[in-house]
Amino acid sequence: MVWLLLGAVPILAPVAAQAVREEEDVATTIKLRGYDCPGRVVHDLTRRSRSDGGREVEATCSNGRRFRITVDGEGRLRVTPLR
């Protein structure tokens, strides 16, 4: 019975190692939309739910630029630079 439990550990470990933090996900989203956001993560995340069922995230990149990422109730994503 013990060998069965030990055999399951290598299968579960890679899944945990691939977890992406929200800060990394937001930074990647900003970069994929063509904006300059150096570094792997953003900071100062502010999250809000929208009345249409979507959500908004405001974040600051390491260069000081701020962005708002909006996902509407239908799943459309928009990245907007903030001043």
Look at 54 and 14; give whichever has higher pLDDT.
Answer: 54
pLDDT at position 11 over 60: no
Look at 12 and 71; give whichever has higher pLDDT.
Answer: 71
DSSP character at residue 82: E
Q: What distance in Å separates the CA atoms of residue 66 and residue 83, rounded to the nearest whole number?
A: 7
**Is 3 within a domain?**
no
Q: What distance in Å separates the CA atoms of residue 55 and residue 51, rounded to the nearest whole number?
A: 9
**Is 66 within a domain?**
yes
42-83: per-residue pLDDT in tens? 999 999 999 989 999 999 999 999 999 999 999 999 999 998
Domain containing 43 equals: 20-82
Q: What distance in Å separates the CA atoms of residue 74 and residue 52, rounded to the nearest whole number?
A: 9
**Is 47 within a domain?**
yes
**Is 4 within a domain?**
no
Q: How much is the pTM? A: 0.74
Q: Please count the structural domains in the chain.
A: 1
How buried is 6 (Cβ within 10 angstroms: 0-12 exposed, 13-18 middle, 19+ buried)?
A: exposed
**Which pLDDT score, from 0 to 100, does residue 56 have?**
96
